[in-house]
Structure 1
Amino acid sequence: MKISYNWIKKYLSINNLISIEKISNFLTDIGLPVRSIKKTLIENHVEDYILDIEITPNRSDAMSHYGIARDLYAVLTFRGYKKVHLSKPIIHYKKDILFDKEKHCFQIFIEEKKKCIRYSGLVISKIKIDISPRWLNFRLKSVGIKPINNIIDVTNFVMHELGQPIHVFDLDQIEGNKIIIKNAKNHTIFESIDNVTRKLNKKDLMIYDTIKPLSIAGMINSKNSNINIKTKNIFLGSAYFDPIIIRSIGRRHLIKTDAKFRFERGVDPDQTVYALQRTAVLIKKITNCKICSDIIDIYSHPIFPFKIKLRYKKIKEILGQSISNKKIKKILFLLEIVVIFECDKYLLVLVPNYRIDVQREIDLIEEILRIYGVNKIKISDNNIRISPLPNFFHKTKEKIQKVISKKLVYYGFQEIINHSMNNKSKFSCLFNSFLNRKEIDIMNPINKFYNSMRTNLLFGMIDCIKYNQNRRNVDTKFFEIGKIYFQKNKKFLEKTFLSISVSENEKEKSFITDVKNSSFFYLKGIIEQIFQLSGISNYSQILSTHPFLENSISIQYKEKNIVILGKIKKEYFSISKKIEIFYAEIDWEYFISIIQKKKVIYVPCSKYPTSKRDLSVLIDKTISFEKVYRIIKEKEKGIIKKIKIYDLYEGINFPKSKKSYTFSFFFESNKKTLTDVFIHEVMKEIEIFLKNKLGATIREENKLI
């Protein structure tokens, strides 16, 4: 958004006391970053500066010159600039405007009162469409607006001055001297001034006369209602629409106008009449027209200022230090936030309607910090503490389950829910004997297929996968968090597990295609991402056995199994030979207990660069990555921050008993920049160590990346 420095000075009365550089710095301090400053010349060779400001969507109050000036006034006054005064253009409407003796009879009706909260309008007659005066042309050109004619230019000027869009219609094209705000009828054809024909539906909020649509919610006019060189009489409208409605309509019809840009972010509902008066006064001065109606203002459901309780204790808790009560109240006063009650512990305040982004106590604290100055908040060693694990602030089971489920959904998994009862079978007996579990029989089953409580999540997962495969949905990713039930040592027990599966067609692998058993590593990567999110590290993995999984591994934490992972044996479940299914099961209760005990200690990021090296080795098939990882970590000098498998290969050109690993090593120090010579020496030591310990063969030289 482009802002004129001279234009802002009109409202602040700062003359040349504050340089453009300081204004730029102050704007950045209060959260309105200045992207660029351009020096320019306007009328009579007067210098001006144009600031390109980046404004977040929630700060609709700052999308005007007066809005920027209002924010600058607050920060400049608070920081000691005593000669700064904020002045809004003063309008003596009844004094400045001489009404025509014959007032025009005009009516406004709002049918959709929840969508159009407020609508104000007036009629002006005997205007003359012409070019705008030089001052208005220059002012608009300075902020990138192309002048059109004196009427449209005034409405654009007011919109950029106050942030309130003003729409103007040719009065002689309005049938019945009525404005009606209502929804369109389905299949209504609307030809707009941008030469686009739009098909409306009953969700579209429109401005109508008694017969036809005039505008899509004040965002864009129809061809027939817009003013032209022959226009003699006009109707001015100023409105507050529900921002959500405007946003949906604008998106549906691909409307991109300045009015839509402001309406969808929320304008000030208390400013519609003032902006209308300001527009009428300017048009009167420029065209010597006649105002032939009173302002009609329909505001059936007024929006009242938001009431918030602001606690002094909460401010200190959030900011980490105290700010005097006097300074807090001064900041609120400068931001036009009214204190209606105060005591030793808190303030009760009313937030002006133009600050739609301030609706919570934390929003108020952010405003105080913004004006007070982030740089004034001192950070000491006492502020750095052991804090709860990010994403699990409450550390309840429900909170953790919600976070993990969302993460899996983000990765493309779908949650399933299976019956907690199943049918006894020889497979379930095999499974239960392997895990030393005894099934719990149901005394009065609803049918023969549900005669016992389930002792695992695997069989339900397989049934769900087969159900989808029978309907040609082969590539699936499922997860389930559920309970199992069994007897052990004459006790009835129930435990919760998280089961995750990935199934795919062998010929058309959908996840990673370059590596054999790619889905195994994909699923293992998902488990590792969950662990990383949960703050679980220093886990290990070992080869394991499972009656229904081949090439399975167990991931252990503190020498206790937390995850079982492997490829499902197809022969037990009548699964097509073309389908591969990989399955992982997490001991959910153990997983939760680890997180609830976990604490995270803040460690500053290293200011020195990270270097990467790759190493390819040929080793025996029986040697796992976990073993290689442990051996390397024993030898390295605390400078290897991460080790990743870059590639795994078995097959052609290699002995059947061998496999090839390519590792990526990430080197980083907290004390100094690591030189290439030093890293090269460490890599040589690792190579020698792998040769001696594992009989590894180094396949190629380290690569610098």
Structure 2
Amino acid sequence: MRISYNWIKKYISTDLSIEKISNILTEIGLPVKNIKKTFIENHIEDNILDIEITPNRADAMSHYGIARDLYAVLTFRGYKEVRLSKPIVSNYKRDIYNNNKYCFQIFLEEKKKCIRYSGVVLSEIKIDTSPIWLRFRLKSIGIQPINNIIDVTNFVMYELGQPIHIFDMDQIEGKKIIIKNAKNHTIFKSIDNVTRKLNEKDLIIYDTIKPLSIAGIINSKNSNINRTTKNIFLGSAYFDPITVRSIGKRHLIKTDAKFRFERGVDPNQTVYALQRTAILIKEIAKGKICSDIIDIYSHPRFPFKIKLRYKKIRETIGKYISNNKIKKILLLLEIVILSESEKSLLVLVPPYRIDVQREIDLIEEILRIYGINKIKTSNTNIKISPYPNFSKTKEEIQKIISKQLVGYGFQEIVNYSMNNKNEYSYLLNSFFNRKEINIMNPTNKFYNSMRSSLLFGMINCIKSNHNRGNRKTKFFEIGKIYFQKNNKFLEKTFLSISISEIEKKIIDPRNSSSSFFSLKGIIEQIFQLSGINNYSQVLFTHPLLEKSISIQYKNKNLVVLGKIKEEFFLQLQKKEIFYAEIDWEYLISIIQEEKVTYVPYSKYPTSKRDLSLLIDKTISFEKIYQLIKEKEKGLIKKIKIYDFYEGKNFPKSKKSYTISFFFESKNETLTDVIINEIMKKIEKFLKNKLGAKIRELDQ
């Protein structure tokens, strides 16, 4: 938001320079010359600041709002003779009485979407160019002047934060303003020459026949003022922020009024802003106020009542602040102290502070005005809880990993513990040297045995989604399997994960393994969150998976990962399914045994180099990885597969890997000379040890 220094000084009396005020508004150490701009026109000069305001601080999205906040900060920090003055409206009065021509009515049909609407009529106005001072004020903050009426409403919006909309009074049918939802397929041509089709979710300002405005954020073309307009209607309202935001998004509307309404204006300021606008129009456009202000306030907003505990303030801030200083800060922020006890305060927060509704919000405000830079910390007292902060219970581990998978876009499924015995389950059990557990009296012929793998339920779920048009799925399930081994009935828990997608006719076949590596990467992310680092991978033969690998921890299988063989799901045409099964109980035991170790980040940057090589099919990436780790220790922080390909244009006995190497030193910034020397050693080593052929990377 762009603000004018001289404009702010209209409301706050201070002899502080722009530099000092800038230092209060900005972060410590940022040079003012980098943010201050000078605006000069007609020999008038002003200093301009561009500041960022968080969306929850709707109260500060105006010059008066910023002045009000500055007043609290400056006064508390000891700057003398600082006063705050609000624009005066005590001289507001009606000019014309007993004229039914200007009588009108307001009706709120959607009282929750528009809790307050205020309006007034002005007559005998003369639309012309705005005076120099008004044009200068608007231009200084980047607003192009239009005419004296529109310029006044823009001025008031940037002064007080309240949007004001104007209609040509003679174009309002029936002298009625009605706020209601639109009818479906209503055509609305707005002042930006865009024709929009409205629906019943859109909140509209109507007269008795036609729509005049979409929620006060953009007017229709036929209700807007023009050079011939003599009588105008001014509207000032509070519209529900969520309603305005959804309307703006649906119809691609971006206006200054929408920007403020969707963040929440002060509902108790609508009449005041209307009076301020009417007074300025009288002065500038020679208009006359010819109606009373009609104000409909269906759901009045009252101050928030909050209990504030002294002990909680000091525990949260970490420093003792006296009761008197706490109360002074609250009063400077226009927060009323309703009652006080030895331990706490009961306060009333004004409705315009929509960001302060809890005790912790009040504490944040106290710290903000007091000055966070005044809170000194001692290195000996700093405590850090390293992440991940895993609880060691099975339930908490399951909750964390499930949440992680959901964050990656997976959906959790739950299948029956019984399934239908088939040739594939027999093949799987034979491979693992175990027997299926049959159900003696099945109630359903399709559930005649206990499941011995989560794979079959996963496939059925994918088939069901495929038949209903959901062709791309990401599922996971944590469940038990049941089997016999050595004349014992056993059960074991696994985590199964799948990614399925339509197989594309790929121009570049190297992309065909992207889902495999995506799934492998997700498993590695689970390991990283769990604190598991020292794992390895080997090629693995699985009866139902092709190109499968086993990820091992301490030489014991932890994960089996691969692409499900196509004959297993013939009815799913042009489909690729990648599947992983994690030994859940083994994973839990590893997590419970692992200790979290803090390793500080290097102060020096990481550098990356890629290496593409052609190698024998029998050589796994894991073997390459282990050999390089043994050969080059220290500066190589991480090694990852970037790309993998085998097939067309390559000999049948060969495959291609593109491997990324990440280099980092804890002592210095690595130069190209150092890194290139290491890469040459790696290339030479791979040629001699594995017979690899180095390929040129595409530029």
TM-score class normalised by the smaller sequence: 0.7 to 0.9
Is the Cα contact below 8 Å between 1:416 and 1:480 reproduced in 2? Answer: yes
In structure 1, the partner of 2:540 is: 544
Match of 1:163 in 2: 161
Aligned with 2:10: secondary structure? helix
Output aligned runs, 1:435-474, within 5 Å: 435=432, 437-466=434-463
Contact 2:614 2:694 in 1 (8 A): no
What residue is the counterpart of 1:65 in the other structure? 63
Corresponding residue SS for 1:55: coil
* Number of the residue aligned with 1:387: 386
In 2, Cα distance between the equivalents of 1:225 and 1:663? 65
Q: Which residue of 2 aligns with 1:134?
A: 132
- Structure 1 residues 208 and 659 mapped into 2: Cα distance closer, same or farther (>3 Å)? closer
**Cα drift, residue 532 of structure 1:** 3.2
* AA aligned opposite 2:634: G
Paired letter, 1:336: E
For residue 383 of structure 1, report the CA deviation from its aligned partner: 2.1
Partner of 1:243: 241
Cα distance change on mapping 1:486 and 1:678 into 2, 3 Å: same
- In the aligned structure 2, how far is the partner of 1:322 from the partner of 1:600? 35
Would the alpha carbon gap of residues 612 and 581 (structure 1) be closer, same or farther in structure 2, given more than 3 Å must change? same
Deviation at 1:655, TM superposition (A): 7.5
Tell me whether 1:20 sits opposite 2:14 in the alignment.
no
Contact 2:391–2:397, Cα closer than 8 Å, also in 1: no
1:305 aligns with 303
Distance 2:275 2:574 in 1: 76
Q: What is the one-letter code of the residue matched to 1:238? A: S
Tell me what 2:634 maps to.
638
**Superposition deviation, residue 39 in structure 1:** 0.6
TM-score, normalization: structure 1? 0.86
Deviation at residue 181 of structure 1 after TM alignment? 1.6
Per the TM alignment, residue 604 of structure 1 is displaced from its structure 2 partner at its CA by 4.2
Which residue of 408, 414, 424 corresponds with 1:427? 424
CA contact under 8 A between 1:616 and 1:698: conserved in structure 2?
no
Cα-to-partner distance string for 1:622-676 (whole Å, 9 max, x where unaligned)? 4432233233333434221111224445568987666554433211112222344
Q: How many residues align?
A: 694
Report % sequence identity.
74
The answer on whether the counterparts of 1:27 and 1:33 sit within 8 Å (CA) in structure 2 is no
In structure 2, distance between residues paired with 1:121 and 1:518: 61
Which AA in structure 2 matches 1:457? Answer: L
Contact 2:392/2:592 (CA < 8 Å) preserved in 1?
A: no
**Residues 1:218 and 2:216 are matched in the alignment:** yes
State how far apart, in whole Å, the 1-side matches of 2:322 and 2:8 are. 31
Map 1:110-509 → 2, pairs under 5 A: 110-310=108-308, 319=317, 323-342=321-340, 347-379=345-377, 380=379, 382-389=381-388, 396-397=396-397, 399-409=399-409, 413=410, 415-435=412-432, 437-466=434-463, 477-486=474-483, 494-503=491-500, 508-509=505-506
Q: Distance in 1 between matches of 2:73 and 2:595?
A: 40
Q: Give the residue type in structure 2 aligned to 1:334.
A: L
- Between stretches 172-181 and 600-609, larger displacement belongs to 600-609
Q: Who is 1:609 aligned against?
A: 605
Shift of 1:159: 0.8
Task: Give SS of 1:396's match.
Answer: helix
Cα shift readout 1:269-318 (whole Å, capped 9, x = no counterpart)? 11111111211222233344433333222112112233444455655665
After TM superposition, give the deviation of residue 257 of structure 1 in Å.
2.3
Asked if the contact 1:332–1:368 (Cα under 8 Å) also holds between the matched residues in 2, the reply is: yes
- For residue 514 of structure 1, what is the amino acid of its counterpart? R
Deviations 1:598-631 (A, max 9, x none): 6655544322122333445665544432233233
Shift of 1:108: 1.9
Amino acid across the alignment from 1:459: F
Separation of aligned partners in 2, 1:135 and 1:549: 78
2:122 touches 2:289 (CA, 8 Å); kept in 1?
Answer: yes
Distance 1:577 1:194 in 2: 50
RMSD: 3.8
Comparing 375-384 and 155-164, the one that deviates more = 375-384
The residue type equivalent to 1:696 in the other structure is L
Displacement after TM superposition at 1:450 (Å): 0.9
Per-residue deviation at 1:584?
0.8
Q: Which amino acid aligns with 2:93?
A: I
Q: State the Cα distance separating 1:677 from its structure 2 match.
A: 4.3
Q: CA deviation at 1:162?
A: 0.0
Q: Secondary structure at the residue paired with 1:267?
A: coil
Distance in 2 (CA, whole Å) between partners of 1:358 and 1:488 is 63
Structure 2 equivalent of residue 2 of structure 1 = 2
Matches of 1:653 and 1:147 in 2, distance apart?
66
Q: Which runs of 5+ in 2 are unaligned?
A: none
Aligned partner letter, 1:282: L
**CA apart distance, 1:545:** 3.7
SS at match of 1:10: coil
Rounded to whole Å, the distance in 1 between the matches of 2:165 and 2:386 is 53
Corresponding position of 1:79: 77
The one-letter code matched in structure 2 to 1:431 is L
Q: Provide the rounded CA distance (Å) in 2 between the counterparts of 1:2 and 1:247.
A: 22
Partner of 1:100, secondary structure, is coil
Determine helix, strand or coil for the equivalent of 1:199. Answer: strand
Residue type matched to 2:690 in 1?
A: A
Q: Distance in 2 between matches of 1:570 and 1:165?
A: 63
Moved more, 270-279 or 559-568: 559-568
Structure 1 residues 85-124: aligned runs within 5 Å = 85-93=83-91, 96-97=92-93, 99-102=95-98, 105-124=103-122
Amino acid at match of 1:7: W
Contact 2:535-2:554 at 8 Å conserved across structures: yes
Aligned to 1:696: 690
Counterpart-to-counterpart distance in 2, 1:9 and 1:391:
54
Whole-angstrom CA distance in 1 between matches of 2:369 and 2:225: 44
Give 1:149 deviation, angstroms. Answer: 2.7
Deviation at 1:249, TM superposition (A): 2.0
**Farther off after superposition, 683-692 or 452-461:** 683-692
Residue 559 of structure 2: aligned partner: 563
Q: CA deviation at 1:585?
A: 0.8
**Structure 2 counterpart of 1:39, which letter?**
T
1:587 to 579, 583, 586: 583
Structure 1 residues 481 and 677: alpha-carbon distance in aligned structure 2, compared to 1, 3 A threshold: same
Structure 2-normalised TM-score?
A: 0.87
Moved more, 226-235 or 59-68: 226-235
